[in-house]
Amino acid sequence: MSDLHRLLRLYEGRPAAVAARGPDPVNRPMIRHWCEALGDTGAAYRGEGAVAPAAMLQVWTMPGLGGPSSRSPALDEVFALLDGAGFTAVVATDCEQEYLRPLRPGDEITFDSVIESVSPCKTTRLGAGHFLTRRTEIRANGELVGIQRFRILKYAPAPRTSAPAERPRPVVNRDNAGFWEGVAAHVLLIQQCDDCTELRFPWVPGCAHCGSPRWTAMAASGAGTVHAYVIVHHPPAPGFDPPYAVALVELAEGVRMISNITGVEPGGVHIGMPVELEFLRVDAERELPVFRPREESA
């Protein structure tokens, strides 16, 4: 164990925030803005009995542009130690949330956070650094309603090389592992709620329409149309050669997914273009679902 890691471990279990308050109570306008931005039309989020989407859990704790007012000295000290050792860059890596009850308009939010763990130095594609995990207990009117683990990487950026960059790897977790198993088998799987039969994509643990956690995976046909698209010229992204087309494809089943359009010059993509699924090999280990123009039958 390095001397730095030995120092960092002394902070594990120390508070990152104590009795902090959410800047606003849970409220309908923020719920509405969230749902509009995500295109979520679930009935549970509208009307007098509305609840907040579960994925908004962290939203109610965020301080806004003024920055956090309740962060503990311990967290600042950990960041200072890492900055002083050259780990000056930061990236969020993952977030795990547990929901104990729905949040409702009027709920007053408080939360407590601890520094749960600081990893030994790890070598990543971004550079060497330490993963720091904060565990936050979120309460509504004093009642525990959710638990969040938020993990960041504080790292020293790796020197750039002239080697060809690889595409970023998709994040595979317990909620979407079945989707990626389908991709490996050349099947595009979407979810169908077992209770209300609503289809959904991307994969999530529960139904936004009726709230049911029960679902079945079903194979999509692979046919769709371009609902919207952009042609990316800049900034450059690892593993991509601009210009390239990124499209929001509406599948024949009615759900939408974001993917690349291949088999046509970027300037040839247009809204309403019929497309069909194909699987593009991007390296020795991975294939990704993409779409190419579909020839319509005469």
| Residue linked to tokens 């050669």 | 241
Give the separation between CA 285 and CA 29, rounded to whole angstroms: 45
| Strand, coil or helix: 274 | strand
Q: How far from chain centre, in Å, is Cα 194?
A: 24
Q: What does the pLDDT average to over 242-266?
A: 94
Q: What is the pLDDT of residues 75-132, one digit of tens each?
A: 999 999 999 999 999 999 999 999 999 999 999 999 999 999 999 999 998 899 999 9
- What's the pLDDT at 69? 66
pLDDT digits (tens, 9 = 90+) for 54-73: 999 999 999 877 766 677 89
* Nearest to 180, CA basis, from 260, 287, 278: 287
What is the per-residue pLDDT for 282?
87
Query: What are the pLDDT digits (tens) for 18-36?
Result: 989 999 999 999 999 999 9
Decide which of 3.40.50.880, 3.10.129.10, 3.40.50.720, 3.40.718.10 is the CATH code for 3-157.
3.10.129.10
Which residues, other chains included, contact 7 with Cβ-Cβ below 8 Å and sequence gap of 6+? Answer: 81
Q: Quick check: pTM over 0.85? A: no
- Residue ranges of the domains in the chain? 3-157, 177-293
**pLDDT at residue 164 in the model:** 63
Quote the pLDDT of residue 298.
41
Contact 258, 246 (CB under 8 A): yes
Which backbone phi and psi does 55 adopt, to 5 degrees?
-65, -10
